[in-house]
């Protein structure tokens, strides 16, 4: 089976995608938390503090192996359990600074609902255009991530973030200088890695929605261990 159609790498490995990272003043690595029961069902998960599934835990470990050897100057995570679990299992728990700036979109009355369920009462609803009654509106989300990006830019260097899909889509859109509604066109799956970078010609999307097959990573580790143990 070939790579997922939304995977920006199109089969190329991570090292190829990293060419040029660090060219500019900073690079931001985005790790969306691993799988949860609600990411499987498609329920909007903002303020609900849900943990990773066993598969999500494996994804976090695999992401940690993929990031091993990379130097990060700063590591931040959302205060939600699913993000902090991912950071810890990836091997960054002792370095992680928790920040409210990485909280997921506040879905208000739409918390826990699927898009199909929302469309039943709000036909053609679109998050980054319409926002959420009782929750955040797109302009407010843009202001929140703009403030976070301004803080991060003061730090410089390589920054690693553990957080959520809609928040990260907002961060990527605003980092690129685009209106918040453009985040609609960026899909971001659970257990994925993306990279934003200050390139020669301006802010650049270096890597997007790079997913890791956790079992393949673990099998490779076992094979390597067997090889080392074999005379």
Q: Are 115 and 41 in contact (CB under 8 A)?
A: no
Q: Is the residue at 8 inside a domain?
A: no
The residues assigned a catalytic role are 33, 104
In a domain, 151, yes or no: no
pLDDT category, 21, cuts 50, 70, 90?
Answer: very low
CB 27 within 8 A of CB 197: yes
Q: Quote the CA–CA distance of 135 and 122 in Å, as a whole number.
A: 15
- Is residue 221 included in any domain, yes or no? yes
Per-residue pLDDT tens digits for 94-145: 999 999 999 999 999 999 999 999 999 999 999 999 999 999 999 999 999 9
pLDDT at 218: 66
Place of tokens 């470990």: 61
With respect to residue 153, please indicate whether it lies within any of the assigned structural domains: no
Q: Is the pLDDT of residue 50 over 80?
A: yes
The answer as to whether 43 is a domain residue is yes
Task: Give the C-alpha separation, 225 to 229, whole Å.
Answer: 6
In a domain, 39, yes or no: yes
Give pLDDT, residue 69: 85
Kindly report the backbone phi and psi dihedral angles of residue 134, in degrees, each rounded to the nearest multiple of 5, phi listed first.
80, 0
Closest CA to 107 of 133, 143, 139, 142: 133
Task: State the pLDDT at residue 4.
Answer: 42
Identify the CATH number of the domain in which residue 198 sits. Answer: 3.40.50.1240
pLDDT tens figures, 52-103: 999 999 999 999 999 988 999 999 999 999 999 999 999 999 999 999 999 9
Radius of gyration, alpha carbons of the chain: 18
Give the per-residue pLDDT at 49: 96
Roughly what angle, to the nearest 10 degrees, separates helices 54-67 and 214-229?
Answer: 60
Task: Taking each helix axis as running N to C, give the angle between helix 54-67 and helix 81-89, from 0 to 180 degrees, rounded to the nearest 10.
Answer: 50
Integer distance in angstroms from the first to the last C-alpha of the chain?
A: 35
Residue 18 has pLDDT above 60, yes or no: no
pTM of the full predicted structure?
Answer: 0.85
Look up residue 203 and give its two tokens: 């802010």
Parent domain of 132: 26-137+166-229
- Which H or E run includes 211? strand 202-211
Model confidence band, residue 2 (pLDDT cutoffs 50, 70, 90): very low
Q: Is residue 62 part of a domain?
A: yes
CA distance 167 to 162: 11
Domain count, the chain: 1
- Would the CA dihedral through 27, 93, 162, 218 be positive or negative? positive
Q: What is the average per-residue pLDDT within 159-181?
A: 98
DSSP-assigned letter for residue 30? E
Residue 158 maps to a domain: no
């Amino acid at each position: 089976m070939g790579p997922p159609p939304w995977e920006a790498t199109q089969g190329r490995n991570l090292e190829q995608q990293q060419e040029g990272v660090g060219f500019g003043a900073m690079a931001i690595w985005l790790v969306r938390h691993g799988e949860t029961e609600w990411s499987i069902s498609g329920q909007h998960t903002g303020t609900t503090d849900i943990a990773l599934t066993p598969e999500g835990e494996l994804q976090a470990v695999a992401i940690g192996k993929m990031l091993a050897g990379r130097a990060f100057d700063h590591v931040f995570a959302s205060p939600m359990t699913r993000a902090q679990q991912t950071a810890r299992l990836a091997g960054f728990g002792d370095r992680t600074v928790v920040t409210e700036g990485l909280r997921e979109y506040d879905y208000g009355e739409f918390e826990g609902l699927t898009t199909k369920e929302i469309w039943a009462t709000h036909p053609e609803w679109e998050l980054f255009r319409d926002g959420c009654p009782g929750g955040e509106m797109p302009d407010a989300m843009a202001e929140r991530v703009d403030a976070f990006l301004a803080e991060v830019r003061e730090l410089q260097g390589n920054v690693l973030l553990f957080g959520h899909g809609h928040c990260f889509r907002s961060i990527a859109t605003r980092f690129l200088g685009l209106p918040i509604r453009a985040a609609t066109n960026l899909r971001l799956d659970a257990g994925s890695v993306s990279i934003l970078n200050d390139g020669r010609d301006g802010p650049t999307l270096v890597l997007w929605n790079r997913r890791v097959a956790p079992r393949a990573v673990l099998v490779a580790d076992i094979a390597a261990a067997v090889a080392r143990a074999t005379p």
